[in-house]
Amino acid sequence: MIHFNSITMLRNKVPRPYILVPGLFLLTSLYSSAGRAELPADNIFSRVEQLAREQLAQQAATAGLLEPQFQVAVVKSTRPVPACAAPVTLETADSRSAQRMRFVAVCPGSNGWRYEMLARGSITAQVAVTSAPVTANTPLQSGDVALARRDVTMVPDSISSLLGAIGLSSRRSLRAGEVLRQGQLAAPMLIKRGSAVNIVARKEQVEVSMAGEALDPGALGEVIRVRNATSGTVIRARVVDAGVVEPADLAGR
């Protein structure tokens, strides 16, 4: 009987590993799933970097930058990011400055937390630069400008088109290789105050020309006061060329 019982016990023991192993696998799977619910710190940092890049891309699109490229570095604090049993959400606190974008990681729930994070970004793009030294108040020619990649992180008014710079003049002298900025460029003065101008009025197929005197200086497209040399009447006229204006109040304008 003892021999028979031993065989019976061995037979009962044989299937047990095949019964216990699936149970152990199920328990391990549940534990791993619970572990994956906690968002690792590196995952949060990578998500902040991606969000910062999206913010920079939006700013570049608004500014009309040509072929923008971005660099982002997330500043990692010495304070560790706590574990969170729920999905962590990210909020943009302030992205006005590319060099100092602030984000907040939020762990929801009664035991949740808020973790402030800082990202520093930079933007480069193809922009108009001077290809030769430029004298102040001299209209830019096609040979004076070129497109080149430059860091425009701190240049909100860069110019992305050569056509947007040619014909304008700089308010100060520029060295070769300088980034052209909208704020430093102006349309050249085509008419000086007190100079003689030609007033040209066109309507359909009829064109009338008369002499006048400019009472204001004016660049291309600007509206200035002009006195009719014959009648003495003062009108508002738009500068269309050097020494040439047209009445600004013509019907249809």
Q: Are 215 and 192 in contact (CB under 8 A)?
A: no
Closest alpha carbon to 161 in 182, 186, 190, 188? 182
Share of the chain above pLDDT 70, in %: 82
pLDDT for residue 30:
31
pLDDT for residue 192:
92
Asked whether residue 239 carries a pLDDT value surpassing 80, the answer given is: yes
Tens digits of residue pLDDT in 221-230: 899 999 999 9
pLDDT for residue 3:
44
Q: Of 10-24, 111-125, 183-197, 231-245, which gets the smallest average pLDDT?
A: 10-24
Higher pLDDT, 189 or 232: 232
Q: What is the DSSP letter of 132?
A: S
Task: Provide mean pLDDT across the span 188-216.
Answer: 91
Task: Provide mean pLDDT across the span 10-30.
Answer: 39
- Is the Cα dihedral 201, 207, 210, 216 positive or negative? positive
pLDDT for residue 189:
86
The CA-atom distances, in angstroms, between 82 and each of 33, 207, 212 are 18, 78, 77
Alpha carbon 39 to its chain centroid, in Å, reads: 30
Higher pLDDT, 152 or 186: 152
Domains of the chain and CATH, by start: 41-123 (no CATH), 124-186 (3.90.1210.10), 189-247 (2.30.30.760)
> Which token pair is 67?
């072929």
Tens digits of residue pLDDT in 21-41: 343 333 333 333 333 334 555
pLDDT for residue 193:
94
Q: Are 103 and 90 in contact (CB under 8 A)?
A: yes
Tens digits of residue pLDDT in 63-122: 999 999 999 999 988 888 888 888 899 999 999 999 999 999 999 988 899 999 999 999
Task: Provide mean pLDDT across the span 152-158.
Answer: 95
| 209: three-class secondary structure by DSSP | strand
Asked whether residue 11 carries a pLDDT value surpassing 60, the answer given is: no
Residue 165 to residue 181: CA distance in whole angstroms: 9
